[in-house]
C-alpha cells in the first residue's frame, strides 16, 4: 500500500512539473494533449478552415479546443465522450458511448449529411498496468474509432488516432492501409518518451 501511494505521489509530482502541463495552464488549453495535436498539425497540416471534424473520446476537450480554433467559424467540430465535457464555442458535444445505436444516431443527426473531412481519436482505456489486459483494450478502442470513421468520412477524408505499440499493432496498420491511401506514424514531443503511444495518421479514405 505504501509503495502504491509513493508511486501515485511520484506520478503527481511528474505531472505537475511537466512542461506541457504548465504550458497548457499558461496558454489556456484544457490538457497537455493539445500540444500533441498542435505538433502533428504543424507537420502535416491536416486541419484547415471550413472543415468538419469528428472528435471521439473528446473529454476534457483539449483536441476539440484545438480543432475548433483551426476550422474557424465556417467549420464544425462534433465531439463525443462517455464522460461529461464542459461546453466549447464551435463544438457540438454528444455525451454517451458512440458504439450504442442511440448515441450513434444522435451524432449522425448532428452531422446531418455534412461531409466529414477528419475523424480524430485520443482515446485510451483506464490502464491497469498489465499489458496483456491494457493492449487489447486499447486496440479495441482504435478498432471502434476506425469503424466509426469508415461510416462518416467522405472520400479522401483523414483519420488520426492514438495507438499503443505492441500486440495487434501491425494488423491494425494493415487494416488502415486497406481503407486509406497512405498511413504514417507520428510521435509528438509532448508524448512522453517512455510511453508506447504513437499516433497513426491515415489520409485518402477510399470510401
Any idea which residues carry the catalytic annotation? 162
Q: Identify the bridge partners of residue 130 per DSSP, sorted by sequence position.
A: none
Is 147 assigned a ligand-binding role in the annotation? no
Kindly state the cell numbers that stand for 113: 449529411
Is 61 assigned a ligand-binding role in the annotation? yes
Is 96 assigned a ligand-binding role in the annotation? no
Residue with cell 465535457: 85
Kindly state the cell numbers that stand for 172: 491494425
- In this structure, are residues 171 and 146 in contact, taking their beta carbons and an 8 Å threshold? no
Is 204 assigned a ligand-binding role in the annotation? no
What is the gyration radius of the CA atoms in the chain, in angstroms?
17
* Neighbour-count burial of 182, counting CB atoms closer than 10 A to its CB (0-12 exposed, 13-18 middle, 19+ buried): exposed
Largest CA distance in the chain: 54
| Strand 76-81, strand 153-164: pairing | unpaired
Q: How many CA atoms lie within 13 A of 157 on its CB side?
A: 24
Distances (CA, A) of 87 to 27, 29, 64, 73, 122: 18, 14, 10, 16, 18
Is 105 assigned a ligand-binding role in the annotation? no
Give the annotated binding-site residues. Answer: 61, 63, 81, 97, 122
Give the annotated binding-site residues for S-adenosyl-L-methionine. Answer: 61, 63, 81, 97, 122
Amino acid at each position: 500500500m505504501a509503495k502504491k501511494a509513493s508511486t501515485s505521489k511520484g506520478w503527481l509530482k511528474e505531472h505537475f512539473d511537466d512542461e506541457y502541463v504548465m504550458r497548457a495552464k499558461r496558454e489556456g488549453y484544457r490538457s497537455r494533449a493539445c500540444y500533441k495535436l498542435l505538433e502533428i498539425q504543424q507537420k502535416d497540416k491536416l486541419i484547415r478552415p471550413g472543415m468538419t471534424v469528428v472528435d471521439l473520446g473528446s473529454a476534457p476537450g483539449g483536441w476539440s479546443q484545438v480543432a475548433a480554433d483551426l476550422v474557424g467559424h465556417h467549420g464544425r467540430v462534433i465531439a463525443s465522450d462517455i464522460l461529461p465535457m464542459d461546453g466549447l464555442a464551435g463544438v457540438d458535444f454528444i455525451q454517451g458511448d458512440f458504439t450504442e445505436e442511440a448515441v450513434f444516431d444522435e451524432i449522425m443527426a448532428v452531422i446531418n449529411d455534412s461531409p466529414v473531412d477528419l475523424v480524430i481519436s485520443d482515446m485510451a482505456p483506464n490502464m491497469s498496468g498489465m499489458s496483456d489486459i491494457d493492449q487489447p483494450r486499447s486496440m479495441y478502442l482504435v478498432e471502434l474509432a476506425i469503424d466509426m470513421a469508415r461510416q462518416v468520412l467522405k472520400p479522401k477524408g483523414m483519420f488520426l488516432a492514438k495507438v499503443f505499440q505492441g500486440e495487434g499493432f501491425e494488423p491494425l496498420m494493415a487494416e488502415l492501409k486497406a481503407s486509406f491511401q497512405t498511413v504514417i506514424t507520428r510521435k509528438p514531443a509532448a508524448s512522453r518518451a517512455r510511453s508506447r503511444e504513437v499516433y497513426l495518421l491515415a489520409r485518402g479514405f477510399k470510401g
